[in-house]
Each structure stands twice: as C-alpha cells, then as structure tokens.
Amino acid sequence: MRLSSLGKAFGAAAVFLAASTGVFLSRDALAPLFIRDDTADRRELGGTSRTLVYQVPRDEVIRFNLSRPSTLVRIISQPNILPEDWTKSDNWIYGFKVILRDAGGAPVLERDVYSRALHPKRLRPFKRPVRFRLDSDVPIALRDDVVIAADRPVSTMEMVALADADPAVLSIDIQAYERLPFVGNTALAAFRRRSASEQAVLARADALGPELMTDQERAALMTNRWRALGPAGIAGRDYTVGVVYERPFEVDEEEE
C-alpha cells in the first residue's frame, strides 16, 4: 500500500494526540444503545476516516478510567490476522477478559468475552468495509461490538487478551466507550454547551441543521450517547496505540 506524505503526517498527529492527552446479548435488546459514535477521536481525510485503536496486551492489563461512575461500558474489537493465514479461513475466534472495578478498586464484574471475527469477503461487496493501516500491511478482520452491564456503578475497566485465541490472530485492537448519562433537560443543556461546529457535527444526519431543530430533537442527539475512552498511562510504555483508516468500498477486478 502506498504511503502518501500527507497520510503519514496525519497518522503521526493522531498518535501524538493520544500520547499527549491520554484520551484518546440479544442484538434487538442492545439496538437502542448503538448510535453514532462520539467524534472526538475521528477526523475526515479526503473521504477516508481514521480512528484510534488500542492493543489488548496478553501479559498485563490495559486500563481505562471512566470520567464518572457508570453501569454500562461498550467495547468495539477487531483482530489483526497473520498475512499468511488471511486466505486460509474466513473466520477467527479471539477473546479478552474484562474486569470492571468501583471507585475503591474493588472488582464489580469479571467476564471473558469471546468473538468470532469474519473475513470482510463474507459480506456483500457494497457492505464491505475497507480498513487498513498506513504503517502495516497486516489484514484486519471485521469488528465486533459488545455492551457490558454491571449491577452497580463502576469507575475503571481493565482488559487482557485471552490465550486460547485462534493461532492466526496476531493481536486484538479495541475502542472503549463510556455511556453519557444525558436525558431530558440535561441532554438539552449538554447540547447547548457545545460549540456551533460541534452542534453541526452532531446534527449532520438531519436535513434541517441544528438551527431549525426543535429542543426535543436537540436533546435526542445527546441522549444515550457514547464517549470514547483513552487508556491510563503513557503511550508506548503503558499501552500501544494505532490508527486504523477506513475508506469507501471499491469493487476489485475479480468481482466486476
């Protein structure tokens, strides 16, 4: 894959941002929880979006501190597959352990999460995502999405990769999110506190734009939202951060 100087510059900027700031199940039952991701860690570059991802270590935990206690956390995961095994299978099993702790550090919930990642070619071409890195040609399998509910508020989430993954799984990248507790008037106030440009981003799916929306519609944009979490510590020492790019699907010659 060709590396443009502009792409390299934007990739380096994303890594620097994460290092300097440190921030960055029934499907029907979970459907109301899955809405548009927070855009704090995503920027547009010529039709290609990019997202910060964090590698789940095998021999130590990666830790995320929530901005406020919550009973819900969300994890989007995607395994990186060894290039020599990319064409040998169309699915791979992987897993990670999640430990949720309260404000005092006591464990509230511990769960092993297993997923079956699919090869992108398992999807129809027009639905197939094209995800890649600028610094690596290691192929990326399809993502999985899980919401974990605790029976009481938690303040910290820890994760570690499980050893019994498919041998073809080179590593696991994740994005972690906390649930924002905005409802009713609180949600409307939170929307009004955003800048004009942030409001425009939140309302980009609405044809009218934020200026012509009702207060109820504005509040709905902030209700049940997820905010991206960044790991605790220093990038490169306490955790590994990467940048995954996604561009619109292009039919290859074999499928035309």
Instruction: Tell me the pLDDT tens digit for each residue of 126-145.
Output: 677 788 999 899 999 999 99
Q: Looking at residue 12, what is its pLDDT?
A: 42
Kindly report the pTM of this predicted structure.
0.71
CA distance 65 to 86: 35
Tens of pLDDT, residue by residue over 23-41, are 334 444 444 444 444 444 4
Q: Which stretches does DSSP call E strand in the chain?
A: 42-45, 48-55, 62-81, 91-101, 107-118, 130-132, 144-161, 169-179, 226-229, 241-247
Instruction: Report the pLDDT value the prediction gives residue 178, as an integer from 0 to 100.
Output: 94
Give residue 169's pLDDT.
Answer: 97
CA geometry: angle at 182 spanning 173 and 52, to 5°? 20
Long-range contacts of 231-234 (CB under 8 A, 24+ apart): 231/22, 231/54, 231/62, 231/63, 231/64, 231/176, 232/22, 232/63, 232/64, 232/65, 233/22, 233/63, 234/19, 234/22
Q: Using CB atoms within 10 Å of the CB of residue 163, give its burial: 0 to 12 exposed, 13 to 18 middle, 19+ buried.
A: exposed
Q: What is the pLDDT of residue 11?
A: 43
- pLDDT for res 254: 53
Q: Give me the pLDDT at residue 27, please.
A: 41
For the cut 90, the answer to whether the pLDDT of residue 224 exceeds it is: no
pLDDT value of position 127 = 72
How sure is the predictor about 202, in pLDDT bands with cuts at 50, 70 and 90?
confident
Structure tokens at 223: 């209700």
Tell me how far apart the alpha carbons of residues 204 and 206 are, in angstroms, rounded to a whole number.
5
| Residues in a beta bridge with 28 | none
More confident: 52 or 124: 52
CA 33 to CA 23: how far, in whole Å? 22
More confident site: 78 or 202? 78
- The 3-class SS string of 225-237 reads CEEEECECCCECC
Higher pLDDT pick, 251 / 203:
203
pLDDT (0 to 100) of residue 250: 63
State the pLDDT confidence band at 42, using cuts at 50, 70 and 90. Answer: very low
